[in-house]
Structure 1
């Protein structure tokens, strides 16, 4: 993948791009598209991409240029002998109607025989390409919405017809919920042109559509062969639960006619699991499939250690069995890959016959050591964020890396900033670094000037209620499930009390039911989603309220800040209990950014960046014993109780994965009995 290709807002159908007869016309199209904003997306095809069954007699002598805001251009490259080109356009229009019907958009779009073809399609000759979109933009909102649905269907970016609805949305929330999703050029390349490598890697920022792409790829490989065995996994239980819930609905509106054969053809679960249930996680399944002992956690055994042990066992098994070694799966799909150690991917590659699709957050990876500079290891880089407002995204990056502070948490080289979708102002001096992003049209006509807000309060519950009260007055169609409240700090005892208090207050003041996702590990309809940072990865909400005691310099705390602030479509709020120098610096940085439209920070020299990364790399994952020591200190557990609790924790978590929040909750619950 070259840089020109990855930054283009033009997708070219593969066989068109490889056809030498189209070189000149492709060059002409690229030339005039350069005059249009990068947020305008274009697609050059000669047939609907959604299904290979669509073919035409005039194919090879005509092209179709689709766009997000202009009429469909049908380009005649031949001489239209015996009206062949006109027949091609009519057949293409008829096939649009067929696809509209197949994917249940008749109510929204209508039947093509009742529509005026000229409202949607323009016929031109190759010589008329220059400036060809002039006069072909669509002003009528109803026609523009119908056209975008047609374009989405033609390129295979299928939306849920029930979610889209038949009427043009009016309110900001309705526009978000009924937004027509259209793949950009890099996303659509992933769907149709993944190449021959066994391992295919996607890296992207939060909100760039990584999970959506994996779902589309899942649909493709599920219907390809009757006997394909597929495991879709991630590290987080809540995300795994959400994926399991989404896939049946996704398959329905994608018109997958085959019944989902759970635990025979398709598994969707987190990467660990229980020794008592082989279908509960990828590790549990592999241990059962290959008859390898399910390793239990103990003091000095980490997640990475256990997968290293598994890899060694698999290697020994393969050496002994040779060609008789059996693959556990045909395909594995991995979401939020930045949460896994490298050995996990080696295990997946070893047990998978055909392909592994890996999607991860390029920026969350930075909090480990920075972006991997070996670009050949990443097949697709997604840097256009369609979920989160650019202002929120940039502030989240800035506070996550300490860009507004004298002592930086992390920093990137210029080429790394650019891979994340940033534009560097080259006119500045050697001391300052000015960062901008291309404007993105995420939703039609939503004017949101303050998508990110910092609030100070020691009265957390009152501040949360105040924010929700304001949202209710601003957005008349606000629903409880539009809101997520996220506690960023790891002190389970305090978080547990705050959640219990908020659940009561939300019910009392607004009649809202709240879902404590730390316990349920899932989203629920018509409830406010309240959780800590461990249970929200991969999820998204119109409004996110993040709560922290203070801003500190801990790398993991900053990672949580970045990840949680970017969960929102419309607005993110950061409630800080205690103001300090770091929070003041970031508040000033946010104010300057909102006013100026760019981030200004001090440029670091390469040796300074390397020093920061060396410091980050030196930090090791906590084992169970170290984790307990931190929990004992936070919860102020007396020395006379610690040994008994340590023994109980060790016995309980022999065959279970853990994190600090799980251990903190366990210790808090059992302290009273010791």
Structure 2
């Protein structure tokens, strides 16, 4: 029997529950598929009781257990109407347990769950500290079994008929028990195969994932003390997991002060909806925003509440604005660093951080300073979405150390969750995005790489060979780690589509025609389409596209460019946006414009940044991807796709690992990009050098240089030529 004990804090102090669990382990020892849950599932009842254990058995149905720790001196009589406790009549508490079981039964039998098996619920009330001979029991109307201190000898399964739940109903039942169907199951628009259009394909794709995998379930449900870290690729469910965790913490600790922080403003509506939906299912109510705050990391007078902004106000400190920090490359980092010099109140019980890869280290140090012991900080990040590097710092660097050298925020291995499966992206989308992001199949643009085999495998890949300098490397992605297989049921539209244009105008016109076809011919909802533009003048370009769409009676929204940054995925509107605004969001169909930008970089730093932008944009797609650019330069893009495509469709990468010299350059770039101020300084110096060389006669300039400077320039030029 498998066990799911998510409330570790309660279970560790629950001696009687551990004793009962030992008994249940023995009862169900031969059922490998049976699952034991502690204090799950959670339902709101008038008395807010939870069962001690719920056991789901494929062979026998559902068993629900609750125990009461009364002794025979306290509890002397049980009947249908009341209990006698300390000589006084008290409401029959079994009625509360029956209320709970009634809710569980109704939830499973809800017609929209489409569970057709009549799954029986077997109910047990235990009194492990009372002998059956010392208590008066007169129950006639209660459909429960009472067990006493000799429960270990009870033959639980002796008279239980076998039901043998089929696989489909078993999966649906577990989805209800886990409550994963609350946030992932689409109930308004149900389709079956064969699929006739893209809208049906979108709905079908959403229907397929209504059960969390083990890693997701553990990460979302577990409540423990101390730090937790959640790592996973784009689409592995990090935001959903944090939303569930926030709702469960708020449910369990109603007076606790909790923050859910994020970097991308457009995430606000999505997270608020997810948290409220889950919390409402548990309690029938909305969250208390005074206790659970869903806010941006920075915030401000006009942009609204934020972690930094609220900490300043709470401590009587004037918050700094962007204007106050003019000249600093990472203004948020500087703002947090300055705030850290103050004595700050420890006022938060739990802090959850989404998009942690985009937060500066000083922000994490700030969180440590304002969080009460035992430092319940939970952060989730995608190693590959950060613009800075392929990994963020470890807890020691994030939060610092105490005077004795111990970690201020220790992270236990059991609280470090790695999500290997990416549910959002089709394998072809994810693997091609990563190949572009790293430059694996480009001619000279290898800008990122992972050297550690363990890191590749934590991301859901398998290293067949290589990872040595200059050697052929083969890395595969097991099919089970990319469950999105919509192209197997709907083959009319390729997963990845490409088109080239001779001008910006043509690129935008062709994009508008594709969107028009999807909406009017394939019946796709406008809010299921996102356009991400990589170019610098994206506001102007997207405004032109907006006009093209409007001429076809298609409405669109430009969050953060025209409308508010939180205004993502407005109903009946196509979303037109930039990479930075798109981060953290997902839609079934994504158009990425200006892909040729990755070949127009003037430096290794820019190549790294532009390729990372392309990776982020591509991985917003839950289904289909359209990539476009302007001819000539876009031909380089087409060539790179051609090199990688057969390998990716077969589920692997094959490339030559960078040489040791190139790898050192990449590592140096990793360090530089973590230091925003130094990076900006070096970029300015490089620009100045380019201006000098471009405006002067180099032969004359040479006469004013010393031998050492000339030698450095010569070595730099020779190194550049060797890479051509």
Which of 178, 183, 199 matches 1:155? 178
Alignment of 1:98 with 2:83, yes or no, is: no
Write out aligned runs for 1:374-523 (5 A).
379-407=416-444, 408-413=446-451, 414-426=453-465, 431-439=471-479, 440-442=482-484, 446-447=489-490, 450-458=494-502, 459-472=506-519, 475=522, 477-489=523-535, 491-492=536-537, 495-509=538-552, 511-517=553-559, 518-520=561-563, 521=565, 522-523=567-568
The aligned residue for residue 123 of structure 2 is: none
Corresponding residue pairs, total: 550
* Distance verdict in 2 for CA 1:153–1:214, change over 3 Å: same
| Whole-angstrom CA distance in 2 between matches of 1:394 and 1:567 | 13
Aligned alpha-carbon RMSD (Å): 4.2
**Deviation of 1:300 (Å):** 3.5
Q: Matched residue of 2:283: which SS?
A: coil
SS in 2 for 1:498: helix
Q: 1:628 to 1:603 in 2, by over 3 A?
A: closer
Query: CA offset at residue 606 of structure 1?
Result: 6.2
1:625-667 residue CA offsets vs partner (Å, 9 max, x unmatched): 989989x99xxxxxxxxxxxxxxxxxxxxxxxxxxxxxxxxxx
What is the Cα deviation at residue 267 of structure 1? 2.1
Between 374-383 and 562-571, report the one with greater CA deviation. 374-383
TM-superposed deviation, 1:233: 1.3
Q: Is the 8 A contact 2:472 2:657 kept in 1?
A: yes
C-alpha change, 1:194 and 1:623, in structure 2 (3 Å) is same
Whether the 8 Å CA contact 1:11–1:189 is kept in 2: the answer is no
Structure 2 counterparts to residues 574-589 of structure 1, below 5 A: 574-580=627-633, 582-589=636-643
Task: Choose from 262, 269, 272 the match for 2:298.
Answer: 272
The structure with the larger Rg is 2
Q: Give distance in 2, aligned partners of 1:290 and 1:609.
A: 46
Give deviations 1:526-576, integer Å, cap 9, x for gaps.
100001111111111010000114323521111111111111111011112
Structure 1: tracts of 5 or more residues without a match:
1-9, 31-41, 66-70, 77-91, 119-124, 139-143, 319-325, 634-674
Check 1:427–1:260 CA distance in 2 against 1; reply closer, same or farther (3 A cut): closer
Contact 2:432/2:648 (8 A) holds in 1 = no
Q: Secondary structure at the match of 2:433?
A: helix
Query: Structure 1, residues 490-539: CA drift from partner, whole Å, max 9, x if none?
Result: x23xx222212211211223x21010112221121110000111111111
Equivalents in 2 of 1:460, 1:261: separation in Å? 47
Question: For structure 2, which runs of at least 5 residues remain unmatched after alignment?
Answer: 12-16, 44-48, 64-96, 121-154, 194-199, 396-410, 602-606, 689-724
Q: Which moved more, 1:524-533 or 1:45-54?
A: 45-54
1:280-335 Cα offsets, whole Å, 9 max, x none, are: 2111111111112323212237321221111121xxx26xxxxxxx4232222111
Q: Is the 8 A contact 1:369 1:617 kept in 2?
A: no
Contact 2:519 2:526 in 1 (8 A): no
Distance 1:623 1:292, change over 3 A: farther
Distance across 2 between alignment mates of 1:223 and 1:505: 48
Match of 1:351 among 370, 383, 396: 370
DSSP 3-state at the match of 2:182 = coil
| C-alpha distance in 2 between matches for 1:373 and 1:335 | 16
Of the three residues 32, 36, 40, the one matched with 1:49 is 40
Judging by fraction of residues, say which structure has more helix.
1
1:602 has 2:656 as partner:
yes
Question: What does 1:185-200 align with in structure 2 at a 5 Å threshold?
Answer: 185-197=214-226, 199-200=227-228
Instruction: Evaluate the alpha carbon distance shift between residue 483 and residue 166 of structure 1 in structure 2; reply closer, same or farther with a 3 A threshold.
Output: closer
Alignment of 1:68-83 (within 5 A): none
Matched, 1:164 2:168: no
Q: Is residue 357–residue 392 contact of structure 2 (8 Å, CA) maintained in 1?
A: no
Structure 2 CA distance for partners of 1:351 and 1:498, relative to 1, 3 Å:
same
Distance 1:427 1:106, change over 3 A: same
- Name the CA distance, whole Å, in 1 between partners of 2:471 and 2:237: 35
- Looking at structure 2, the residues matched to 463 and 380 of structure 1 have their Cα atoms a distance apart, in angstroms, of 43
Residues 383, 390 of structure 2: 8 Å contact kept: no
- TM-score normalised by L of structure 1: 0.71
Structure 2 contact 466–472 (Cα < 8 Å) conserved: no
CA-CA distance at 1:212 after TM superposition: 0.3
Give the Cα–Cα distance (whole angstroms) in 1 for the partners of residues 527 and 276 of structure 2: 20
Q: Do the aligned partners of residues 249 and 564 (structure 1) sit closer, same or farther apart at CA in structure 2, a change above 3 Å counting? A: same
**In 2: Cα distance, 1:604 partner to 1:96 partner:** 60
Matched-pair contact (CA < 8 Å) for 2:464–2:475: yes
Shift of 1:578: 3.8
Q: Which of 615, 622, 639 is matched with 1:562 structurally? A: 615
1:72-120 per-residue CA deviation (whole Å, 9 max, x = no partner) reads 67699xxxxxxxxxxxxxxx999887336358x723137x8x84449xx
| Aligned-pair CA distance for 1:214 | 0.8
Contact 1:47 1:55 in 2 (8 A): yes
User: Contact (CA 8 Å) 2:530, 2:576: kept in 1 or not?
Assistant: yes
Correspondence for 2:309? 284
Q: Tell me if structure 1 keeps the 8 A contact 2:672–2:678.
A: no
Instruction: Please show how residues 213-232 of structure 1 align to structure 2 within 5 Å.
Output: 213-232=241-260
Residues 597-621 of structure 1: per-residue CA shift (max 9 Å, x gap): 3221113466653431112322442
CA distance in 1, matches of 2:260, 2:37: 33
CA 1:373–1:223 in structure 2 vs 1: closer, same or farther (change >3 Å)? Answer: closer
Q: In the alignment, is the contact (CA less than 8 A) between 1:550 and 1:578 conserved in 2?
A: no
Partner of 1:484: helix, strand, or coil?
A: strand
Residues 253-264 of structure 1 correspond to what in structure 2 (within 5 A)?
Answer: 254-262=281-289, 264=290
Q: TM-score, normalised by structure 2?
A: 0.66
Tell me the distance in 2 between the aligned counterparts of 1:411 and 1:513: 41
Relative to structure 1, is the Cα distance of residues 438 and 629 closer, same or farther in structure 2, using a 3 angstrom cutoff?
same
